[in-house]
Structure 1
Amino acid sequence: MPYVNIKITDENVSSEDKKALIEGATRLLQDVLGKNPATTVVVIDEVNTDNWGIAGEQVTHRRKRGQ
């Protein structure tokens, strides 16, 4: 039973986007590894940009600077 955990920042990700991520990850595991889609679990965690850091800096501050 494959388990995929996708972590993204919580910045305007639509339900349709999430649906596409779930379908795409499931299809990728089926195509590449022959995994059964019926037993593939995909979880999307949305993380607040205050709780996500890159290069020692919160993503919130990076976004404010345009990075």
Structure 2
Amino acid sequence: RAADNFWHTVVESRSISIGGNSRREHFPAADDYLSYVTDREGPESCNTNNMLKLTEGLFRMKPDAAYV
């Protein structure tokens, strides 16, 4: 349940259209979208990769179309 809750929080409240959701190992403020573009260290590909791994694991346990 914790992993599913985390996934929904990141996907529904923290991700932006280019697929990113964190910078420098942290989530920025929920309304801080501009810094994803202006910050030298934009969205992290490692966190995107980890979210994809989490999504795969959750989908295997519960094949829900939301994960696709």
Q: Which structure is higher in strand share?
A: 1
TM-score of the superposed pair, with normalisation by structure 1: 0.34
Return the index of the structure with the highest Cα Rg. 1
> Relative CO higher for 1 or 2, CA cutoff 8 Å, sep ≥ 6?
1
Q: Which structure is higher in helix share?
A: 2
TM-score of the superposed pair, with normalisation by structure 2: 0.33
